[in-house]
């Protein structure tokens, strides 16, 4: 055997020894996939997985519930704000209408032109959702009514004194189940009469 062959065999032997050492060192890694864990560890592992999924489900459900609740609160708030805005706009329009009506009735009342006032009120009662219109003087006497069945009535029998004593245009939402517009008619120094417009109840 030549010296060269001996040297090659020596080197090959060193390489084989190196790989044998590595194989022994990492032998436990090769056994990991084939090892079987005790039953209690499997149960614990499954339990942990179940807990994680349950926690995730609860957390997601809570977030979704909170979002739904928040959206509902925002919807209610927006609806409420819209209604309040609509009510304010409605009241403003009613106040403008009442002011014009007050001026018209005042001029005819000063001239004692009751027939002309009667014509005004009969035109108003033709407006949508308007039920009746009455004119009551400051002593509580019914001067004009679009409902002819009330002509013999006294104004204080139709409306309480606190309604008839109002000094400014007012919208009342629930008077005997009706919405009314109270329009004081002012003279030079004091109130001389009150026009009250009653509206029909809205169908729900």
How many Å apart are CA 40 and CA 91, to the nearest integer?
Answer: 75
Distance CA 153, CA 149 (A): 8
Give the span between the Cα atoms of 74 and 104, in whole angstroms.
45
The pLDDT value recorded for residue 193 is 95
- How far CA 204 is from CA of 34, 82, 89, 198, 201, in Å, comes to 74, 19, 22, 18, 9
φ and ψ at residue 169, rounded to 5 degrees: -65, 130
pLDDT of residue 121: 94
Give, for all 204 residues of the chain, the pLDDT tens digit: 555 555 555 555 655 565 565 555 555 545 545 455 566 666 677 777 777 877 777 877 778 888 888 888 888 778 777 766 666 777 788 889 889 999 999 999 999 999 999 999 999 999 888 999 999 999 899 999 999 888 788 888 888 888 999 999 998 876 677 789 999 999 888 899 999 999 886 554
pLDDT at 204: 42
């Amino acid at each position: 055997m030549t010296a060269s062959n001996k040297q090659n065999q020596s080197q090959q032997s060193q390489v084989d020894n190196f790989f044998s050492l590595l194989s022994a060192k990492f032998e436990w890694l090769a056994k990991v996939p084939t090892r079987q864990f005790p039953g209690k560890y499997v149960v614990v592992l499954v339990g942990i997985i179940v807990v994680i999924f349950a926690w995730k489900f609860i957390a997601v459900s809570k977030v979704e519930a909170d979002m739904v609740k928040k959206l509902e609160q925002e919807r209610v708030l927006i609806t409420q704000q819209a209604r309040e805005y609509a009510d304010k706009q409605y009241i403003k329009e009613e106040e403008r209408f009442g002011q014009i009506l007050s001026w018209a009735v005042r001029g005819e009342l000063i001239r004692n032109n009751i027939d002309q006032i009667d014509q005004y009120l009969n035109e108003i009662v033709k407006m949508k959702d308007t039920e009746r219109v009455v004119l009551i003087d400051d002593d509580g006497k019914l001067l004009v009514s679009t409902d002819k069945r009330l002509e013999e009535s006294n104004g204080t029998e139709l409306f309480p004194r606190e309604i008839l004593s109002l000094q400014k245009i007012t919208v009342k939402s629930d008077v005997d189940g009706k919405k009314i517009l109270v329009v004081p008619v002012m003279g030079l120094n004091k109130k001389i009469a009150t026009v009250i417009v009653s509206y029909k109840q809205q169908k729900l």
